[in-house]
Structure 1
C-alpha cells in the first residue's frame, strides 16, 4: 500500500511564497545607503555602506575607524565590541563623535549575544569576534541586521559577508634615511563583494593624511607601495 501523494500547493499558497521571496530580495537589493565618508565612494561596492549588511575589514583598526567616521559624523550612534586596542583619541581625530560611541572592550565568550543586543539599538556596530561563528548563527544574525537596518563591520572573517576590505600594501611618507617625522601613510585597499566572488578591486587612500584625516589619494603616477613590515625594516635597518 502506498501513501497518497501530497496535494500541490494552491495558487494562493504559491503567490504567498513568491511574495515572501520578492520581499527578501528587496530587503537586500534595495537597502538604504548609510552616510559614508566621500573617500570610500570609489572603494565600497556601490560607493557606500548599506543598511542590513555585513562588511569584513581585514587587519587594520585604522581602516575600521575610517569606515565608522562617516556614519558617526552624520549623527548616528556607533558601537565597538571586542577591540580593546581601539583608541578613542585616534577615533576622535578621524571624526568619530565620542558622545555617540559605545565601547565594549571585552565581551568575552558571549560576544555574539552582545553584538546581537547592540544591533537591536545601534545602527552601526563593529566587532572583533573572539571565536569562530557557525554559518547558521551568522545567517540568523544577518536576518536580524536586515530587520533592524544595522550595519555590521567585522574585524576578521565572517561567513557570507556582503563585502570585504583589506590593506594590501602600505607606505609611510616623511621618514628619510632613518630620521625625520612620519607625516602621511598611503595604502592600497583591496575590496571584494558578494556579487563578484574571487574578484577584488583596488584603490589608494591616505590613511592618515598630513592633518591626521583620511582621503582618497591624489591622482597621478602610482607609487610603488611596499608592505608595512618591509618599510619598517628599511627604516630601522
Structure 2
C-alpha cells in the first residue's frame, strides 16, 4: 500500500495548493485565515458532513484529497456537498496501520481527511512534520490534542418534516470555533449544511437549535420527538 502511494506521489503533487487550501465561502468564517493552512491540523467534532464540506472547494479547484479511517464517509454525501470525487482518494486500512498510511498520504496530497482515534504524541508529531514539509493541510474527524483550530458542532436542526410528514430538506448547524493562536477566541457560527437547495451557506447561530448528538424534530401530536442523527 505504501509503495503504491509513493509511486502516485509525484503525480498528486502537481496540484499542490498555494499558501492556503481554499474552502467554500460559507466556511471561511470558521477559520482564522479563511482557509486551511498546509501543515496545520483542524479538528472537527460532532459531524462528518462538516469534514467533507471543508474538502469541497479544494477538490473542485484541482487539489487532491485523501481520506483515511473515516468509517462513515459516504461518497454520495460528499458529492452532494460539492466534493469532486475524481480528486478524492479513500483508503481503507486496518486500525493499527492507519497512522503510517496517513503519513504516506500526507506526503502526496494537498488535503488529508483523517478519522479514528488520535495516535500517540510521537505519531502526531511525525504527521505534522510531514504535512509541513509537503504542504498538506490536515482535517481530523474527532479530537486531536494540539490542533491549531477546533471546530465543534454544538447544535443542529433538520427542517422539512412538518407535522410528522415530508422529507428532510435542510439542516442548520451551530459550530463553535476555538484553538490556538489566532483561533483562540471562541465564537459560534451558524451554517446551512445543506440548505433546501443543497447549498452550503451561512445562517444565524440561534440558541434554539437542538443540541447534538441528536436533533429532536417534533412529529404528529402524541407521538413524541423523532431523533435524527
Q: What's the TM-score, normalizing by structure 2?
A: 0.81
Q: What is the DSSP-based 3-state SS (H/G/I as helix, E as strand, rest coil) of the residue aligned with 2:142?
A: coil
4+ long deviations beyond 6 Å: none
Structure 1 pair 229–86 and aligned structure 2 pair: CA distance change class (3 A): closer
Name which of 113, 116, 119 aligns with 1:133. 119
For 1:153-192, what aligned pairs fall within 5 Å after superposition? 153-192=139-178
Deviates more, 1:169-178 or 1:61-70: 169-178
Distance 2:94 2:55 in 1: 20
Note if 1:142 corresponds to 2:128.
Answer: yes
Question: For the residues of structure 2 that align with 1:194 and 1:215, how far apart are their CA atoms?
Answer: 26
In structure 1, what is the Cα distance between the partners aligned to 2:70 and 2:183? 28
Q: Is the 8 A contact 1:45 1:193 kept in 2?
A: no
On the 8 A contact 1:84/1:106 being kept in 2, the answer is: no
The structure carrying a bigger helix percent of its residues is: 1
Relative to structure 1, the CA distance from residue 230 to residue 66 in structure 2 (aligned partners, 3 Å threshold; closer, same or farther) is closer
Q: CA RMSD in A?
A: 2.1
- Alpha-carbon contact 1:168-1:188 (below 8 Å) kept: yes
Paired residue total: 204
**TM-score in terms of structure 1 length:** 0.79
Q: Which has the larger radius of gyration?
A: 1
Matching of residues 26-105 of structure 1 within 5 Å: 32-105=19-92
Q: Which residue of 2 aligns with 1:232?
A: 216
Distance in 2 (alpha carbons) for counterparts of 1:231 and 1:60: 12
- Judged with a 3 Å threshold, the aligned counterparts in structure 2 of structure 1 residues 50 and 198 are, in CA distance, closer, same or farther, namely closer
